[in-house]
Structure 1
Amino acid sequence: MSAQTPPEPRLSATILLLREAAPAPQVLMVKRHYEIDFAAGALVFPGGKAAAGDTDPGWDDWTDGDYGPVQQDARIAAIREAFEESGILLARHSKARGPGAPLVGADLALELAPHRAAVDRGEQPFLDLMREHGLVLALDSLIHFGHWITPVMMPKRFDTHFYVAPAPSGQVAAHDGRETTDAVWLSASDALAQEKSGQATIIFPTRMNLVKLARANSLADAQARFAAEPVITVLPEPGRTEAQEPCLFIPAEAGYGQTVELLSNVKV
């Protein structure tokens, strides 16, 4: 690859797990480990790069919902990453499957929790774990929420799909201690306030998706609102403001209410 050729972005997925709260729904956020090479110490949504096993054709029989190759792979990655990083599992018993059917409860999630590290390290295929326990992934529980591609000038690039989904009733989130060091439930407004006050580090795409989420005033509102909204791909374009400050531009039609971000504010 020449110096002029940007690296190809890697398929990635992130999930905004929501639970009902007043006055606004809360989203699960995890704190990245300080020794991680990307977004170290930042508050993020559970997620990461798609793994080779996420594209296994064997998943066709162990997933609910039909979304085509890219969306299926990304949704599998999102659910796997949520399981690895938080212990929350969006799955159903295969004998009681089907779009909209109830998800597994806390007992089974706790039973499978000891497998999180092995799945994360690639020592145990996630598909095998689901098969062994007669589970299917609830891909239909995810609502496509955002699509961001890392700018071309970055050395590491990701093609990231964001999803919102209700957290399964009774399941408890717990950080993994390797990639993440904390797991917290926050309203979008509270998370943004922490970033503004310097209490938390939040990277640009995460912040913009929190701004978007903050428009929802309940879990039902979030599900209905974002299921009805189109997802516009955001590939931030480098440029300069009228004052000649280096910045990134994002399309207005993406619906984030902001089109310019100063590079001095962009954390990596």
Structure 2
Amino acid sequence: MTTAAPEPRLSATVLLLRDAPDLQVLMVKRHYQIDFAAGALVFPGGKTNDEDESDVWDELSDGDYTGKERTARVAAIREAFEESGLILARPKSARGKDQPLVGADVATHVSPHRAAVDRREKSFVELVRENDLVLALDTLVHFGHWITPDMMPKRFDTHFYLAPTPPQQLATHDGRETTDAVWLSPKLALEMEAAGQATIIFPTKMNLGKLGEEESVPTAINRFAGERVVTVLPIVGKDEDGNPCLHIPAEAGYVQTIEPLENVANVAKR
């Protein structure tokens, strides 16, 4: 009897960017006891929850988004806050597209609630409301969409976003899901993986490669804001030599379309 593949869970990931002076992206190291991508360098992100779906975000966010698109963007900002302490938000009194994001003072003030929000002991909605903030959903640029292959025991329907890091805010790991937070150029991150100095899973590598085609935050934001995102659902097949591999669509614009299965780490515990 064939077991049906599990439905993928809606998830969101954000590539927080800065120029220092060259383009860097924030990566966090997953805790070794986490059941997905344990010990890997990843971008802040995770599964959506029921509060992310709440219609209250209509009044507590900037950007004209609805349904799953709004849910994923809310989750991306919430996860970035939980895992890095960075919060993509504006004062409610000074909201609107292109208005400045809050600085280090607000981020420091709300930071003590990170763990409670993560554990669902504190409502993210209420934290935003109590501090007279609105989430800056409009600052997120849709960058990628990956769905876990159906042979995996845990599957995710993950949207990747780019976002400039708010000036003066400082990133720190949470000590629970992540054990480190580092700023890396895409090239350096890929060199570390190739040298065996870091574990980076396939979708993360592909998105690092695409991001690394740009040299600054403005050029990356301008380019990818205007590009169509093609959904990637890797398919198991064989290469021209008959070796097992994953195939991804060429139109997605990544640097490669085939990855040997032997290179794909089993990051999900069964």
Q: TM-score range by the shorter chain?
A: over 0.9
CA distance in 1, matches of 2:167, 2:52: 25
CA distance in 2, matches of 1:4, 1:39: 24
CA distance in 1, matches of 2:37, 2:117: 22
Matches within 5 A, 1:24-63: 24-63=22-61
CA distance in 2, matches of 1:68, 1:61: 12
Superposed CA offset, 1:85-104 (max 9, x none)? 00000000000000111000
Matches within 5 A, 1:105-116: 105-116=103-114
Q: Which residue of 1 aligns with 2:194?
A: 196
1:6 correspondence with 2:14: no
Structure 2: stretches of 5+ with no match in the other structure: none
Residue 245 (structure 1) shift: 1.4
CA distance in 2, matches of 1:257, 1:211: 7
The amino acid that maps onto 1:178 is R
Q: Which residue of 2 aligns with 1:256?
A: 254
Residue 233 (structure 1) shift: 0.2
The amino acid that maps onto 1:218 is S
Residue 5 (structure 1) shift: 1.2
Superposed CA offset, 1:125-166 (max 9, x none)? 101100011000000000000000000111100000000000
The amino acid that maps onto 1:8 is E
Q: Give 1:80's match in structure 2, choosing from 71, 74, 78.
A: 78
Structure 1: stretches of 5+ with no match in the other structure: none
CA distance in 2, matches of 1:246, 1:146: 25
Superposed CA offset, 1:195-217 (max 9, x none)? 01111000000000000000111
The amino acid that maps onto 1:28 is L
Superposed CA offset, 1:22-70 (max 9, x none)? 3x31000000001111100000000000011100111110000012211
The normalised TM-score by structure 2 is 0.97
Q: Secondary structure at the match of 2:36?
A: coil
State the identity %: 65
Superposed CA offset, 1:97-121 (max 9, x none)? 0011100000110111110000000
CA distance in 2, matches of 1:104, 1:257: 36
Q: How many residues align?
A: 266
CA distance in 1, matches of 2:65, 2:5: 29
1:89 correspondence with 2:87: yes
Residue 21 (structure 1) shift: 2.4
CA distance in 2, matches of 1:194, 1:100: 36
Residue 76 (structure 1) shift: 0.2
Q: Secondary structure at the match of 2:69?
A: helix
CA distance in 2, matches of 1:67, 1:56: 12
CA contact (8 A) 1:76 1:139 kept: yes
The normalised TM-score by structure 1 is 0.98
Q: Which residue of 2 aligns with 1:174?
A: 172
Residue 243 (structure 1) shift: 1.9
CA distance in 2, matches of 1:172, 1:210: 22
Q: Secondary structure at the match of 1:215?
A: coil
1:133 correspondence with 2:131: yes
Q: Secondary structure at the match of 1:76?
A: helix
Report runs of 4+ in structure 1 exceeding 3 Å deviation: none
Q: Give 1:118's match in structure 2, choosing from 106, 116, 119.
A: 116
The amino acid that maps onto 1:19 is R
CA distance in 1, matches of 2:64, 2:5: 32
